[in-house]
């Protein structure tokens, strides 16, 4: 274990110049005579020198690191978004810090503090807790550091948002179900997140618009909507719902994992998909193409979501006065094989 990391001093000594000169050839920001430049480059090469980013960051007040915060990395949705972010950022010289919140608002705040202590140049937070948006916490953070919020929103809050048009996506999905004759539709959601609230609102609106009464039993909340257990929890919840005396003819699930759990629940209850119960998921993660039958779902274009958000953060980091806006990506219904047309009687 050779702890003697080679520093700019060593290079300077070897090249017979000052550290200032070494710095200059590294950064190419001041004129250096060709011959000395070559000497220095040779020394760098020979010593295999690479600069200490901590020292550089300390003085430049710029670290070329950003923080990425997700509820859970062990999820089908977030990794692809993270990948989109990472690709863009890496191409621009940034390295990313990744952190899980487990969907806990307090942990989320703690992570943000940690990241700021580490002097990240910016932060992207995916699916933040509603609480931290609505109480103005993220707005305060935005005053201190470039922050992009993915799939979270609240009116009047001054943050830089990148959103999927989940309202439209949900509307399309629910409307399609209605067109197929499904009037008794269960709505599967998780707890406390903008996405769920938004979708639920659309669910209510559609019922209202068509003057249909909502059976509150049809709004079922999964304790943990974004984890390894989600599928099992959804399965159990759906089986319970199907046992009632007015079981739904279709289920709308707020994400594909819940949808797959729901499919399993339907099958376990001895029913068929879609003949007995139709189902639509959300996200268009890879599993939606792997189920049998293939899941009808709504595409969120996760990789692009990550990329666009990274680009947005990059803009904000370059110009701290970028005005606040919502960037809204289109969502589209992917019709596959889990929805059937209901016989109207």
- Binding residues (CB under 8 A) for its own copies: these are 1-3, 50-55, 57-58, 61, 63, 65, 68, 72-76, 78-80, 82-83, 86-87, 90, 95-100, 113-119, 143-144, 228, 231, 260, 264, 267, 286-287, 289-292, 303, 320-321
Q: How far apart are CA 112 and CA 142, in angstroms?
A: 11
Residue with tokens 């707005």: 139
Smaller CB separation from its own copies, 214 or 329: 329
Which residues fall within 8 angstroms of residue 258, CB to CB, at 6 or more apart? 188, 190, 222, 225, 230, 231, 234, 281
203 binds, among DNA, its own copies, none (CB under 5 to 8 A by kind): none
- Report the partner that residue 20 touches, choosing among DNA, its own copies, none (CB closer than 5 to 8 A by kind): DNA
> 220, 186 in Cβ contact below 8 A?
yes
Does residue 322 contact residue 316 with C-beta atoms inside 8 Å? yes
Residue 296 interacting with DNA (CB under 7 A): no
Is cis: bond before 274, omega within 30 of 0?
yes
- Smallest separation (angstroms) from DNA to the CB of 17: 4
**Helix axis angle, 8-15 relative to 34-47, nearest 10°?**
130
Closest contact distance (angstroms) between CB of 130 and its own copies is 23
Q: Determine if the peptide bond prior to 293 is cis (ω within 30°).
A: yes
Token output for 335? 């019709």
**What are the counts of helices (DSSP H) followed by strands (DSSP E) for the chain?**
13, 12
Nearest-5° Cα angle at 50, 99 to 310: 35
The yes or no reply on residue 244 touching DNA (CB under 7 A) is no
Per CB under 7 A, which of residues 40..79 are in contact with DNA? Answer: 49, 51-52, 55-56, 58-61
32 lines the binding site for DNA (CB under 7 A):
yes
Is residue 20 a contact residue for DNA (CB under 7 A)?
A: yes
Q: Does 184 bind DNA (CB under 7 A)?
A: no
Is 324 one of the binding residues for DNA (CB under 7 A)?
no
Could you say which of its own copies, DNA, none residue 215 binds, taking C-beta under 5 to 8 angstroms by partner kind? Answer: none
Q: Quick check: 113 binds DNA (CB under 7 A)?
A: no
Binding site for DNA (CB under 7 A): 5, 7-9, 16-21, 23-24, 26-27, 29-33, 35-37, 49, 51-52, 55-56, 58-61
């Amino acid at each position: 274990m050779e702890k003697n990391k080679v520093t700019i001093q060593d290079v300077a000594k070897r090249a017979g110049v000052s550290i200032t000169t070494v710095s200059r050839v590294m950064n190419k920001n001041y004129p250096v005579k060709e011959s000395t430049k070559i000497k220095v480059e040779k020394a760098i090469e020979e010593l295999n020198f690479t600069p200490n980013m901590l020292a550089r960051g300390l003085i430049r007040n710029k670290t070329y690191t950003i923080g990425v915060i997700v509820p859970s990395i062990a999820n089908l949705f977030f990794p692809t978004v993270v990948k989109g972010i990472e690709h863009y950022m890496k191409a621009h010289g940034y390295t990313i810090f990744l952190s899980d919140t487990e969907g806990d608002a307090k942990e989320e705040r703690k992570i943000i503090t940690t990241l700021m202590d580490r002097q990240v140049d910016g932060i992207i937070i995916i699916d933040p807790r509603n609480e931290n948006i609505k109480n103005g916490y993220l707005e305060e953070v935005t005053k201190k550091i470039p922050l992009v919020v993915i799939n979270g929103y609240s009116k009047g809050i001054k943050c830089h948002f990148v959103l999927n048009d989940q309202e439209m996506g949900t509307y399309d999905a629910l409307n399609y179900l209605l067109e197929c004759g499904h009037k008794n539709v269960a709505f599967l959601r998780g707890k406390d997140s903008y996405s769920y609230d938004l979708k639920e609102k659309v669910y209510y609106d559609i019922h209202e618009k068509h003057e249909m009464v909502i059976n509150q039993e049809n709004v079922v909340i999964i304790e943990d909507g974004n984890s390894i257990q989600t599928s099992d929890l959804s399965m159990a919840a759906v089986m319970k719902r199907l046992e009632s005396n007015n079981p739904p003819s279709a289920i709308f699930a707020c994400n594909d994992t819940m949808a797959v759990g729901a499919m399993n629940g339907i099958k376990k209850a001895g029913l068929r998909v879609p003949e007995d119960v139709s189902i639509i998921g959300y996200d268009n993660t890879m599993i939606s193409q792997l189920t049998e039958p293939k899941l009808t779902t709504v595409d969120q274009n996760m990789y692009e979501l990550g990329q666009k958000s990274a680009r947005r953060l990059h803009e904000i980091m370059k110009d701290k006065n970028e005005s606040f806006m919502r960037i809204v990506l289109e969502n589209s219904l992917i019709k596959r094989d889990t929805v059937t047309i209901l016989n109207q009687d």
